[in-house]
Amino acid sequence: AAIIARELGVPAVVGTGDGLDKIPDGAEVTVSCAEGDTGTIYSGLLKFEKVTADLERMPPAPLKIMMNVANPERAFDFAMLPNAGVGLARLEMIIASHIGVHPKALLEYASQDAETKRKIDERIAGYGDPVQFYVDRLA
């Protein structure tokens, strides 16, 4: 959840334990993910300032900055940011978004029940072979 929220630009704090029990329904809070790896929830709506950087005027980084990509659709959005490529591509997210069928279900297509085969067939329409569908979509 945290990875997807980060890629979508949505502040999120996950794994709060009993945190939701401590915030009354309808309470206004500020969710901040600006402090590093640990998100913070503040009581009330805090004022903040948004600073926009002109990427054209930004000096080159003194080191290679590579991206972690979970959603392949967002990779094109991130490509406009200064970067040295993709350092980590979350394959499980790519499979979920572009293939939509678990690889083992495709490998063991013949042993699937009729309903599962029907769902797989809908997904792989136009491909004769479930494994080839996987290979082609992943490529």
pLDDT at 97: 83
One domain for residues 68 and 35:
no
Tell me: the pLDDT tens digits for 22-43? 999 999 999 887 777 788 899 9
Q: Are residues 70 and 105 in the same domain?
A: yes
What's the CA gap between 139 and 135, in Å, rounded? 6
| pTM attached to this predicted model | 0.52
- 67-69/40-43 β-pairing: unpaired
- Could you give the percent of the chain with pLDDT greater than 70? 100
Residues 123 and 86 grouped into a single domain: yes
Same domain, 18 and 61: no
Is residue 49 a part of any domain in this protein? Answer: no
Please state, as a whole number, how many other Cβ atoms lie within 10 Å of the Cβ of residue 66. Answer: 12
Report the half-sphere exposure of 79 (CA within 13 A, side-chain side): 7
In the numeric block, which tokens belong to residue 134? 């996987």
50 found inside a domain: no
